Amino acid sequence: MEKRRLGKHLEVSALGLGCMGLSHGYGAATDTEDAVALIRAAHDRGVTFFDTAQVYGPFVNEDVVGEALEPIRDKVVIATKFGFELPSADGGQHLNSRPDYVRQSVEASLKRLRTDVIDLLYQNRVDPNVPIEDVAGTVKDLIAEGKVKHFGLSEAGAQTIRKAHAIQPVAALQSEYSLFWREPEKEIIPTLEELSIGFVPFSPLGKGFLTGKIDESATFGPGDFRSVVPRFQAENLKANHALVTALTQIAESKGVTPAQIALAWLLAQKPWIVPIPGTTKLHRLEENLGAAGVELSPEDATEIAMALAKIDIVGDRYPAHLQARVGK
């Protein structure tokens, strides 16, 4: 698979693997043996970039990723995240990026990931109670100590990115971006381009919506995060299905799948964009990775742009309490 660069020095496969869904967010966790096998299958097919976080599980996902990648540690890039107080006394998710807690979190992640160094360390969400300069300074010290190689932010706003980057160069921003959520095009992508920071879109398939496998009447169980996402509520889901219809028509004309068009579109936006689709199934993994070989012509891009211009996506991408934590 083709390689891409995040920031100035971090080289990764053009498509990474988002590992969250193997143990968090979409219902019951995948059996550990199967999850390990899927992660290793991704590497066998050219993926060198694997994404996890302490909060996924919590902790379980880092354990799975660590086990899967231990035999090939020198051939892969592992990204993980800090920023939530885990475990919390009341079971909620509370932000904590105090320098002492960041250090404590990193030491624990290193053990779970079975490694001496974290290749890319993200702040999971901006903590309004800790100046971003202090967070960046802490990661800068961890880099100097050899425990971390590169610094990243997740769901941060443009001004926060600038402040952090001035203290410690930011290699990558991870935020949601897809044909289903294009808000980053307004301010975030121009900022990243100016500062030579890579972009790692999570949910590049719209939490499964852009695969075409979620119909207008779909429902989601209590263990599935989509059950509380406004965009996936019944009326919004029905309205938003126009996007899937348009995407399917374009995909069929090229002999590929809607998911492959959605990923190819992202790859075509900028050479420093590296999507991290997740899956629990081998055939979906192979389908997703096939997108790296899909070429979109100028005519294809125009057709997609024209289709998007006719569609209004309805519903927020997060419930209000989570939306309040992004873009800070």
* pLDDT band, very low/low/confident/very high, at 54 (cuts 50, 70, 90): very high
56 noted as active-site residue: yes
CA distance 175 to 286: 24
In the prediction, which pLDDT does 73 show? 98
Handedness of CA 41, 118, 72, 67 (dihedral sign): negative
CATH homologous superfamily of 3-206+269-293 equals: NADP-dependent oxidoreductase domain (3.20.20.100)
Q: Look over the chain and give the mean of its residue pLDDT values, rounded to a whole number.
A: 96
Q: Is 321 or 81 the better-scoring residue by pLDDT?
A: 81
For residue 89, pLDDT beyond 90: no
CA distance 66 to 113: 4
Q: Give me the DSSP letters along 189-252.
A: HHHHHHHT-EEEEESTTTTTGGGT-S-TT----TTBGGGG-GGGSHHHHHHHHHHHHHHHHHHH
Of the candidate ranges 128-132, 154-158, 192-196, 302-306, the one whose mean pLDDT is the lowest: 302-306
| Tens-digit pLDDT profile for residues 93-151 | 899 999 999 999 999 999 999 999 999 999 999 999 999 999 999 999 999 999 999 99
Maximum Cα interatomic distance, the chain, rounded to a whole number of Å: 55
Return the SS3 of 160.
helix
The conformation of residue 145, written as its DSSP 8-state character, comes to: T
For residue 16, pLDDT beyond 90: yes
Domain extents for the chain?
A: 3-206+269-293
To which residue do tokens 């921003």 refer?
Answer: 173
In the prediction, which pLDDT does 142 show? 98
CA distance 285 to 268: 20
In the prediction, which pLDDT does 92 show? 79
Provide the Cα torsion 185, 191, 192, 196; round to 10°.
140
Active-site annotation holder among 56, 101, 122, 177: 56
In the prediction, which pLDDT does 256 show? 98
In the prediction, which pLDDT does 88 show? 80
